[in-house]
Structure 1
Amino acid sequence: METLPDDVVVEILVRVTEVAALFRCTATCRRWRLLIADPSFLRRRWPEGVSLQSSLLGFFALQQPRQEPTEGSSTMPLFTPVPCSPHRFIAIPDQPRGGQAVVLASHRGLLVVRFVPLDAISMFEKIMILAVCDPIAGTSRPLPPLKCSRSFRIEGCALLTGADCRVTKRRGASPSVYSSFKVLIISYDGRYNLHVLASNELSWRTSRNWFEPVEYAGRVVPQQINIVVCRGMAHWLFKYSSDFYTLNVCAKTMQMSITKLPLTRNPLGFKFSSALLNVTNDGSLSLLGLYRDCSWLEMWTHEGDNKSVDGMADCWHQTKMIELIQLKESTVGLVQCVCVSEMSGKLLVKDNQDCAYIVDLQTGAMENVTDWFCGIVTMAVPFEKDWPTFFMSRLAGGRIKRNKLRGAISKIASTFCKPIVVAIIFGLIVMSLDHEELQES
């Protein structure tokens, strides 16, 4: 391999299919590390705008046993990997003993996790213990406890990074858990409240009972726990009566508004009953609507600039109808959406027989994935990895650290060498003067 030119080595490395194997190649030699870390190589290995299943590592799922648990039986695993995932087991770092971890949101490779005591009777509590975690790096940052005067339940959650506050069509770099971020929580205690925590703050800010008009309160049906982040805005989907609405929150100002989505009957005469918000590959906000019999999937896209929380209703347009290719060996019953991935274009649904399916949003193909899970999925959060960003952060980070080290050594050397050089020159001058004095005498 040492005698081969760089372009031939690149052709070999780009054909390494497994991500873990490709990352191990970076540790082989400095030459391979530089070739793989090159942005042109990463763009070729993971083309922009292309949905790749390799980015979907698995699901953090809450599950119920399919039968009564026996004494001594193990608890349900929190992480369920997809078959092609390079990470077969991912644990929540710094999880306290005697508690259960519940993943509320996943964004840019980071998680918002709630730690639930095992003796908790329900999901209603007066104090929520939360953390922001990077499970791949094995690090976490605890958040201040979220406290309320009465028991409440979390209905929505989002993690906004510094890149989310800068409006751009491309998804930004994946941050560490210690960089700038905001966590948004929607809670319900008989009324709906919005809690916001910035990474540089020591306590939560709360906006109480923000639903207008008042008749919304208590009759809202949340459609997904994850609040979707798109171009500097956070959006939470809920249903009131037979209509769908979004709560829109500006990432910078926290200004809020509620928009009724102008969904009309499709040409087949049906209205979908289950829906999820998502972000398209080009960074646009979209709505996925699933028909009750799982025969069709509608896609609506918001085509505005998304800079204002007002006037969003007029910008929604139906852009695609996907006929779902159902499995021949089984009949899919009444279905509902569970979650949708950010990057890989996969939708997880389940039917009234507690069977789970993966829907490919590009082709409409369905795959029965019930055997992936150990029990009945009640809630799931997909976990994905932006591999180009991951490689750049890990590989470029090593070069930056070495450069900083070299710079520090040079600075230290410069600090000590300058006085030494001055002392030597001064000494030579003194010796020269002494020598002249001796000759004169």
Structure 2
Amino acid sequence: MAKAARVGAAGELLDDLLLLVFERLPGVQDLLRCAATCKQWLCLIKDPVFLRRIGLWPETAPRPSVLVGIFYQNVGANVAAAIQPMRRIPDSPPQFLSLQAGGGHLTFDSFVANDDGLFNFARPLASRRGLLLVRILLPTPADPQRREKLHLAVCRPLIDKRGRHLLPQPPFLVNHGFVRRHLTGYALLTDEDHRAIDDLDQQRRHPSFQVVLTYSAANRVMYACGYSSATDSWSTPIRCHQVSHLVRCGPYAGVVTSGTVHWLFTDQRSFYTLNVSVATAHVSLTKIPINVHAGEQRRRVPFPCVTGDGKLSFVSIQDDGVLELWAKQGQDDCDHGGAGGWLRSDLINLGSGDKINLVFFAERRGAMLVEQGGAFFTIDLKSKEKALVDLKGEEMEHVRGICRFPMHRCSSSWCSGFHCSWGKISPCAYNKPVLYEVDWIIEAR
């Protein structure tokens, strides 16, 4: 009995030493490698007490998650669209800013294999639950009347470097003669959104997903269509009659609640959400109570998010740096009616001294990620606590007041939906940065 007690004490001591080592690892990738080594290390690293100690599972977060970093593409849309066949062009895959300690600026092929140059000039579009949706730009003839095809791919950076899923072409062309069709929104969904798989282990090994696109055609008529990896096919486009008089604004990537995707629209007087149910193919429009103001607030439109109880919400950024949280109290899918059923509360006061450059929503963390004055920090939607993201790979004073992303004129924080250049107004085509957040899902070998 005494010998068994000594063995148990030695095991506990070894575990404590291992946890101290794990806590001092330079980055999340090293921690993932350790977790995949054996079941003993996996159990130690998955322990909620340890995850909370290293900041991967805040007390108010519904589940542990990793804010891995931000993908972005600096190549302008007009440059990428002019790619010519048989012409040598330097590789330009998306870039990546790590939010983990010891990170810094990395290349896209650090996470996704790009041996054949498939992701050169690729544009990150949306990320959700470890999946990343990108648009692939292939060489096309320099013909203004060309029928431009839309090439999309879904990959799992950090989790599966070699895994990539090329989607078949959707049932519409981006340009068709003089009739121009523009993407107005996109979204990623997983089986978890429909509760289609109860076995989480099966979901992790064989994850399936859906992609939803919205696009405008002639006379500003908008359509929505969806892709399912389970059937490897696209659905028939649905006509969205109610939004022909509205302009899409805010993030292109839609927010998902209970299998319904929401995008923000405006008529320059009020804001609305376009709601597309993936399961029922039902489309609706909901007016939200946040007013459209002149000046800075008109450019910085409300930012969509989801509260802990799964309700659609918005963060409104005021000119004085006050962030307000508008949380929906009723059903997600409402009709064109009034603005009732919303609760407004002050979230945090960030002050007006430094400009807010970027705002992201970390769904699994239940928090906003904000860049202000060169510094990143999270704001928990439940506790309203602010926590600095420690970028040890960079000197913060050096970048203070400087926007990290060249495409800062239209970022994740605000987008009117249109871009004005040389007196000509066209749909916004800037490459928005994409936050990459993953669940803390690790398996032993």
Same fold? TM cut 0.5? yes
TM superposition shift of 1:189 = 2.7
* Contact residue 35 and residue 45 of structure 2 kept, 8 A: yes
Contact 1:161/1:175 (8 A) holds in 2: no
CA RMSD of aligned residues (A): 4.2
Aligned partners of 1:104, 1:301: CA distance in 2, in Å?
Answer: 26
1:113 maps to: 134
Distance 1:225 1:357 in 2: 24
Residue 406 of structure 2, aligned match among 362, 369, 375: 375
State the match for 1:195 in structure 2. Answer: 225
* CA–CA separation in structure 2 for the residues paired with 1:100 and 1:265: 35
Residues 309/7 of structure 1: CA separation in 2 closer, same or farther (3 Å cut) = farther
- How far off is 1:303 after superposition? 2.5
TM-aligned CA deviation for residue 4 of structure 1: 4.0
- Counterpart for residue 417 of structure 2: none
Q: Deviations over 1:3-44 (max 9, x none)?
A: 745554554455533434433444666533444456776677
Structure with a larger share of its residues in helix: 1
Letter in 2 for 1:373: R
Q: Does 1:320 pair with 2:346? A: yes
Percent identity between matched residues is 28
One-letter amino acid of the structure 2 residue matched with residue 63 of structure 1: N
Q: Is the partner of 1:100 in helix, strand or coil?
A: coil
CA deviations on 1:74-110 (whole Å, 9 max, x unpaired) are: 7474222225276954434457537421111100010
- Structure 1 residues 313-322 or 33-42, which shifts more? 33-42
Q: Is the 2:93–2:122 Cα contact (8 Å) retained in structure 1?
A: no
From 102, 105, 117, the equivalent of 1:97 is 117
Tell whether the 8 Å contact from 1:108 to 1:174 is kept in structure 2 after alignment.
no
Q: TM-score, normalised by structure 1?
A: 0.68
Could you say if the C-alpha distance between residues 369 and 341 of structure 1 is closer, same or farther in structure 2, counting changes exceeding 3 Å?
Answer: farther
Match of 1:207 in 2: 237
User: Which whole-Å CA distance do the structure 1 matches of 2:202 and 2:265 have between them?
Assistant: 28
Q: What residue in structure 2 maps to residue 132 of structure 1?
A: 154
Match of 1:224 in 2: 251
Amino acid at match of 1:380: P
* Structure 1 spans left out of the alignment, 5+ residues: 399-441
Q: Is the 8 A contact 1:128 1:147 kept in 2?
A: no
Counterpart in 2 of 1:184?
212
Say which one has the larger Rg. 1
Residue type of the partner of 1:22? L
Name the residue aligned to 1:360: 378
2: distance between equivalents of 1:282 and 1:12? 38
- TM-score (normalised: structure 2): 0.68
Q: For 1:221 and 1:29, how far apart are their aligned partners in 2? A: 49
Between the two structures, name the one with larger relative contact order (CA 8 Å, sep ≥ 6): 2
Correspondence for 1:84? 101
DSSP 3-state at the match of 1:263: strand
Change (3 A) 1:283 1:209: closer
Residue 63 (structure 1) aligned with residue 74 (structure 2): yes
Query: Gaps spanning 5+ residues in structure 2: where?
Result: 1-5, 80-87, 389-395, 409-429
SS at match of 1:258: strand
Distance between the aligned counterparts of 2:89 and 2:402, measured in 1?
22
Q: Distance in 1 between matches of 2:114 and 2:334?
A: 38
Q: Pick from 41, 48, 59: which aligns with 1:32?
A: 41
| Structure 2 SS opposite 1:376 | coil
